[in-house]
Each structure stands twice: as C-alpha cells, then as structure tokens.
Amino acid sequence: MSIHEQDRALCAVRRVRTAREQDSRIGLQVALSTSRKRREDAEHAHTRLVEAPGFAAGSLTEFHSHVLHVTLLAQADVLAADRAESSRAVAQEATVRWHADRTALRVVDLLLERRAEERAVERGRRETRELDDLAAQGWLRAATGEGR
C-alpha cells in the first residue's frame, strides 16, 4: 500500500492499531493455552477424587488418614475448578479484546481504501475533463481550419 500525503496520519494510526491487534492476538493465544491446561488439570483433579478408593476397614488412624486424603483431594478439585473457570473468563475477555482490536484495524483499512477509491474517482474525472478539453480543442481547430 503506497502512502498518499493525505493519509500519513491515518497510516500512523494503522501501524499503532496493527501492533495492538498483534499484541491482543498473542495474549489471546496465551490465554487460550492456559485455559486449556487449567481445564485439563481440573479434569485430572476431579478424576483423582472420583477414583479415590473408599475406606473398607482399618484402624482409627487409617480412617483419619483416609478422610484427610479425600478432603485434600476434594479441596484440590475445587481449587482446580476455580482456576479453570478463572482461566476461561480471562480467555473470553481476551477474545473480546482481540475482536475489538481487529475491528478497529479493519475500520482504518476500510477508511484508507475508501480514500484511495475517492482519489481514483477524482483522478478519473480530471482525466475525463482533460480529454474532453483536448477533444473540444481538436474539433475547434478542425472546424476553423487551423489544423491545416
């Protein structure tokens, strides 16, 4: 894209918005990756809790140890689920920000395209006007006999 003199400021805005869009896209990729990892961690924690063996028989100390173990597994499950939900919320917000940044960049691109089209139309009008003037001059010369 060539930079027209009238578009220099808008091109500077485009460069800033491009950098912002790239940053938000990278942030989105990190947030989605983190969210995926935390969701897998939550699934593993829940699986460990569900698959924990029940207490069949044993001493009071063994029962107490078993209860403590299951309690810790339950706490780990809740903590992992909370982290997964927080990660999901962050990824959702990152998605919204990236869409907003991408839209802002596209708006600048469309404005630049519209300006280029308007300049092309105006250039076409000028060329048509010049060609009409040349044709009129040629006709006038031919009609008055100057061209001979």
What pLDDT, in 10s, does the model give residues 66-93?
Answer: 899 999 999 999 999 999 999 999 999 9
DSSP class of 147: T
Question: Total domain count for the chain?
Answer: 1
- Residue 14 inside a domain? The answer is yes
Q: For residue 44, what pLDDT band results from cuts at 50, 70 and 90?
A: very high
Task: Output 79 or 3, whichever has higher pLDDT.
Answer: 79
Q: Is residue 96 part of a domain?
A: yes
Strand, coil or helix: 37: helix
- What are the residues whose beta carbons fall under 8 Å from the beta carbon of 38, sequence distance 6 or more? 80, 83, 84, 86, 87, 88
63 domain-assigned: yes
Each residue of 97-116: pLDDT tens digit? 999 999 999 999 999 999 99
Segment among 11-15, 76-80, 143-147 with least mean pLDDT: 143-147
Evaluate whether residue 1 is within a structural domain. no
* Inter-axis angle of helices 8-50 and 60-144, nearest 10: 160
Q: Which domain holds residue 62?
A: 8-120
Residue 125 lies in a domain: no
Q: What is residue 124's predicted lDDT score, i.e. its pLDDT?
A: 95
Structure confidence at residue 148 (pLDDT): 54
Q: Is residue 138 part of a domain?
A: no
